Amino acid sequence: MPYYQRDLENKLKRYAKFPVVAILGPRQSGKSTIAKEVFKNHVFLDLDDLELRAQALNDPKAFLRTHENEHGIILDEFQRCPELLSYIKVISDAQDRPGYFVLTGSQNFLMNASISESLAGRVGILTLLPLSLHELEEHALLQKEKPEHTIFFGGYPRLYERQIDPSELYPSYLQTYVERDVRELINVTNLNTFQKFLRLCAGRIGQQINFAELAAQCGISVPTVHNWLSILEASYITFQLRPYWANFNKIMTKSPKLYFYDTGLACLLLGISSEKNLLLNFYYGALFENLIIADMHKQYFNQGMPNTLYYWRDKNGTIEVDCLIEQDGKMIPIEIKSGETYTVHYFDTIKKWQTLAANEAEPSYVVYGGTQSLRGPHENLMPWYQAGTLIKRITEE
């Protein structure tokens, strides 16, 4: 089975100077694979294994001492046994062994305040999402004339490593990981209600979240909507794009927009069964936007940097910029267009926003579904398959 080198590798090697390294991300995004590739001499312990987990829970000290003579330990799916953390802290403080503990987790267990505090200053935290556009291009997995192919397939490495059809992988992924793992966290009593909630979320990709409407359509309370969305974010299924509102007083919206980390999973939830059907689907434009927005998150994560992504919309909805990137005190506007034919009107909204924000001197970008490329001091047109290096380009200019 081929190994696809990941953009996160260089950062991960540098983070080995910490006593503990944590690699977070969704199930099957490649966390175990990259950990074993970078830390080849570490012993690999999978805490999804019931017998191994029982040993760790029953006698944590003995469990860790058994491997004390190893070069290091990879504890896979660490969220299954967070009780080990206090013992890891003691060992890390007592021994000078950089990179000895490598933790992977498909839930962001470090969101827990007590866990974060116990590892403060001892842990280097990185996030690995499914394959990015740059990674797909590096391994010749992009069909540049067909963005619908990448949207429909998504980025989970197993699809490409084993040449699995998305229609076979994603239903299993949803049932085996998303529903099982999330249900364990929130104790969903009615699986049908949760499935409906997931589909409703997919139907709102790129839209402002109306919590009350979601609650009413799903037959749950507003607090439950907030709780379920927070769990989906902690499990790296969905994320929210926050609005930028500084310096604009009350003329703009303050509601976040909803996106999925992987468009292949979103296609399944929307009932899209093929690339051809995707092209004709009402949601194609939203899914194209989701592909680009999610990839920009991947670029930040792969550099080990917090993202500074926002969107902007006035209260009347007459002006909306799909994405704003905050860079060195400047706001860089980005519009995302699924159309394959370039028109000068693609920059109209950006120009309106720049006038309103007194931002005309800064560069702007349009990422679109075609292949033409234009580069200038203020207006830049970028084909969708080049967007995988957009953050690097902006930070270096």
- Kindly indicate the confidence band of residue 108, based on its pLDDT and cuts at 50, 70 and 90: confident
pLDDT tens digits for range 156-187: 999 999 999 999 999 999 988 887 777 777 77
Task: Identify which of 356, 189, 151, 379 has the alpha carbon closest to the alpha carbon of residue 265.
Answer: 151
Cβ atoms of residues 240 and 209 within 8 Å: yes
Asked if the domains 9-127 and 133-288 are classified in one and the same CATH topology, the answer is no
- CATH code reported for the domain at 133-288: 1.10.10.10
In the chain, the N- to C-terminal Cα span, in Å, equals: 39
pLDDT at 110 (0 to 100) = 61
Domain coordinates in residue numbering, the chain: 9-127, 133-288, 310-396
Specify whether domain 9-127 bears CATH 3.40.50.300: yes
| 205 vs 86: CA distance, rounded Å | 40
pLDDT at 390 (0 to 100) = 95
Cβ atoms of residues 19 and 11 within 8 Å: no
320-327 and 330-337 as β-strands: parallel, antiparallel, unpaired? antiparallel
pLDDT tens digits for range 28-58: 999 999 999 999 999 999 999 999 999 999 9
364-368 and 379-383 as β-strands: parallel, antiparallel, unpaired? parallel
Task: Identify which of 258, 255, 252, 259 has the alpha carbon closest to the alpha carbon of residue 320.
Answer: 252
| 30 vs 6: CA distance, rounded Å | 9
How much is the pTM?
0.94
How far are the Cα atoms of 162, 275, 330, 357, 383 from residue 147, in angstroms, in the given order? 21, 9, 30, 32, 10
pLDDT tens digits for range 355-397: 888 877 789 999 999 999 988 878 999 999 999 999 999 888 7
pLDDT at 388 (0 to 100) = 96
Cβ atoms of residues 73 and 102 within 8 Å: yes
Task: Identify which of 302, 264, 268 has the alpha carbon closest to the alpha carbon of residue 30.
Answer: 302
pLDDT tens digits for range 326-359: 988 889 999 999 999 999 899 999 999 988 888 7
